[in-house]
Amino acid sequence: MTVNPFHLAFPVRDLEETRNFYKDLLGCKEGRETKDWLDLDFFGHQIVAHVRPDEIPKAKTGDVDGDQVPVPHFGAVLDWDEWHALAEKLEKAGVEFVLKPRIRFEGKPGEQGTFFLFDPSGNALEFKTFKDMSNLFALQ
């Protein structure tokens, strides 16, 4: 399956703290920028952080497999080893997880590793993995 990159523009409070989080902590590469926005390579996808502090949504929660997950959120689906390496890196860095790394839907077709965290502006992020990527859109 070939996947084209998606594009997401989202609000942030401050470009420097955003750069530090996405580049230094998550390992995203920087692209174009102005004083008001910054392009980032988010695991092969283009995300653009726009300084719009008044437009940052307050995440609420929704029930998913017994967890209260923040909504709205965005994130990336990583391969199994990359997901585990990122989770370990974030744990070592002392990142506060909204939902700690765990396996969800165990024994079901959609079994997946997942964790959630907030960026410095309060945007919720989810990182997922599947041992078998063909289960990405599997029915429960």
Convert the pLDDT of each residue in 18-59 to its tens digit.
Answer: 999 999 999 999 999 999 999 999 999 999 999 999 999 888
Indicate the number of domains in the chain: 1
- The pLDDT score that the predictor gives to residue 140 is 61
CATH number at residue 115: 3.10.180.10
- Look at residue 118 and tell me if it is in a domain: yes
- Look at residue 100 and tell me if it is in a domain: yes
- 81-117 pLDDT, tens digit per residue, is 999 999 999 999 999 999 999 998 888 888 899 999 9
- Look at residue 2 and tell me if it is in a domain: no
CB within 8 Å of 48: residues ≥ 6 apart: 7, 8, 9, 10, 37, 38, 39, 40
- Look at residue 81 and tell me if it is in a domain: yes
Q: Flag whether the pTM goes above 0.75.
A: yes
- Look at residue 31 and tell me if it is in a domain: yes
- Look at residue 140 and tell me if it is in a domain: no
Domain residues for the domain of 71 are 7-135
